[in-house]
Amino acid sequence: MSNPLLNIPLLPPFTQLQPEQVEPAIAKLIGDCQGQLQRGLENPGWESTLQSLEQVQDQLNRAFSPISHLNSVLSGEWRAPYEAALAQVTAYWTEQGQNRELYEVYQQLAASPEFVSWPQPQKKSVELGLRDFELSGVGLEGEARERFAANSKRLAELSSQFANNVLDATNAWTWHTEDKADLTGLPETAIAAAKSAANTKGKNGWLITLEGPSYLAVMTHAENRELRRLVHTAFVSRASEVGPNAGEFDNSGVMESILALRAEQAQLLGMANYAELSLASKMAPDCEGVLEFLNDLAKRAKPAAEREMAELRLFASEEYKLEELQPWDIAWVAEKLKQQRYAISQEELRPYFPYAKVLEGLFAVVEKLFGVAVQEDTTVETWHKDVQFFWLYRNGERIAGFYLDAFAREKKRGGAWMDTVATRRQGEEGLQLPIAYLVCNFSPAVGDMPSLLTHYEVTTLFHEFGHGLHHMLTQIAIAAVSGINGVAWDAVEMPSQFLENWCWQPEAIAMISSHYQTGEPLPAELLEKMLAAKNFQSAMFTVRQLEFAIFDFRLHASEEVMETQKIQQLMSEVRTEVAVVPVAKENRFQHGFSHIFAGGYAAGYYSYKWAEVLSADAFSLFEEKGIFDSATGESFLHSILEQGGSRDALDLFVEFRGRKPDVDALLRHSGIEQLELNISPA
């Protein structure tokens, strides 16, 4: 029986993929890449070396993509083969990153007289390649070279282990009751989901889990304060040495090892710390500039956050006789205050945002902005019955496609993300279309009740689709700078945050909302309340994001050995400086901080705020011209989305906006216009 991973088509045949196919396929494909590299080095040149290598490496990438993806969305039997394949792939890329003969080909191409007249994407791919060789230790000798390679392999293993521990800890804890009164206050959608979760486990009654929809419903709505305490404690102590599953999935040692290895990688490359290494491929100029940006924003946002927290405490005392707010009270009291002040809640809005309508409206918004039509294709194989597949068309021509896995389920990694199936590139068989995965964790339909989204979940869907558009609408056909490839990490969040803005525009809201039973539009009164409440506790949200960003950056800028106790100490120090909400003694946020320990955001979590400056300022042009102004939409498409990583992010922004970024739009959108920041991504 042939192995489908050896000749993976544009759309993976998910129903044919089996875990036992992984290791032999990846070994064979890596062998093909190594053989092609040797042939390419015998006859060095752009086409004979770089393009021919891109062709075989694309086969490897497109085989590894569904393996990695299935590990994230199904876990279980895919975990071991994924980890084995990850080790093989990491070793291959590390070896190539240190291949001096290939490095010399890049150098020769960059130094050739014809290089200056090359197309920009081609030149940029060589320039980025040279940078990446240097950051991969191509200049290292002997033991240092071997050590760098061994560290790279071990870091990949540890990142996977960190993510596994978080997922296992999330799945390990549940709370069961057969008394519905325990769930007083929870919305009917959440109660139905808890009933379904219990049934799935063969139990009567209701089951609360730590999956996002269940956790948030309890923390925001449960009148049962003890239940809120139990769920909060279990959630914030996941994968740590404390809490209900203390030590069982503990990430303490994993974090220590990751930080030590990252620090050593930076030192081997002659850098002071890992933060410096991280910034070598980002927009931000240096460590001082990042910390100045974050600290200045924190210093100016914290007074507003303290006022918001004081209001919350006063309200809790006067209305609920809660003289001391505990961490598990914050979201619940905030929801009560929001309802009193604006007479609105996410649950009141939910019936007006049925998933199908939101999706239809999202596609309509994108079509008006960028001239792109989206059509579902129900014939495409997927990995789960709830997964959908869509094609994108422009002027009647198929240009891209994406899978959408929208709903939470057991063994699926939490959160939301976009990942690549295939990259747009010019290959031997012609132009390869870009294909994406879009993954969310919304509450699924239960019985006759369709999936109904909170407005927060609506913005999450728009956010991830913004990432998807960046990948799918590219016009670049060289893999290294196509789509999100080659884009500075602190600019990569710009298109995703940018698209979120339409979730707050009345004209767009009319396109994405209607009552799931009656089809009636969102009433004007509710819309006005929703918009009025947009910036409710926005300063508290801002300082929370800054708390994570400052912690991450200082953690990776430290030249100390960061043991678990010191990591916790740093977290506490940053909270003292920035945070305004109380923290449970069991809180081990860092043990579940997958963005920096299992994702690409190490010394880069600041990117969310950095890119928010760009996205808010970009959207301000639509505010001036009209939110569906076709010329402005075309300009954003051509200057940002189509260009991928072929040009520097700042240059592309200036081309679109006509000037460097200005922070004013971000502050205005956040409702904290009075702040005056002296720093910008420029």
Active-site amino acid positions: 464
pLDDT along the chain (682 residues), means of 10: 92 97 98 98 97 98 98 94 97 97 98 97 98 97 97 97 98 98 96 96 97 97 98 98 97 98 98 97 95 92 95 98 97 97 93 98 98 98 98 98 96 96 95 98 94 97 98 98 96 97 97 97 95 94 97 96 96 98 98 97 96 95 97 98 97 96 84 48 40
Alpha carbons 39 and 310: distance in angstroms, whole number: 68
**What burial letters (b/e) apply to 36-68, b meaning 16+ CB within 10 Å?**
bbeebbeebebeebbbbbbbbbbbbbbbbbbbb
* Residues counted in the chain: 682
- The predicted-structure confidence for 118-153, as pLDDT tens digits, reads as follows 999 999 999 999 999 999 999 999 999 999 999 999
Alpha carbons 279 and 599: distance in angstroms, whole number: 16
Alpha carbons 96 and 450: distance in angstroms, whole number: 49
Q: Which CATH class is domain 252-344+537-605?
A: mainly alpha
Contact in structure between 358 and 443 (CB atoms under 8 Å): no
User: 4-167 and 252-344+537-605 share one CATH topology?
Assistant: yes
Give the model's pLDDT for residue 682: 40
Give the model's pLDDT for residue 681: 41
Q: What is the percent of the chain where pLDDT is above 90?
A: 95
Give the model's pLDDT for residue 672: 67
658 CB-near residues (< 8 Å, 6+ apart): none
Give the model's pLDDT for residue 673: 55
Alpha carbons 44 and 102: distance in angstroms, whole number: 9
**In CATH, 350-520 is 1.10.1370.40:** yes
- The predicted-structure confidence for 556-575, as pLDDT tens digits, reads as follows 999 899 999 999 999 999 99
Give the model's pLDDT for residue 667: 77
- β-strand 425-427 against 430-432: which pairing, if any? antiparallel
Give the model's pLDDT for residue 455: 96
- The predicted-structure confidence for 581-595, as pLDDT tens digits, reads as follows 999 999 999 999 999
In terms of Cβ atoms closer than 10 Å to its own Cβ (0-12, 13-18, 19+), residue 311 is: middle
Give the model's pLDDT for residue 671: 77
Give the model's pLDDT for residue 259: 98
Domain boundaries, the chain: 4-167, 173-236, 252-344+537-605, 350-520
CA 557, 563, 565, 568 dihedral sign is positive
- The predicted-structure confidence for 377-395, as pLDDT tens digits, reads as follows 999 999 999 999 999 999 9
Q: Which fold has domain 4-167?
A: Neurolysin; domain 3 (1.10.1370)
- Read off the tokens for 571: 């977290």
Q: Give the DSSP H or E segment for 109.
A: helix 100-111
Contact in structure between 421 and 62 (CB atoms under 8 Å): yes
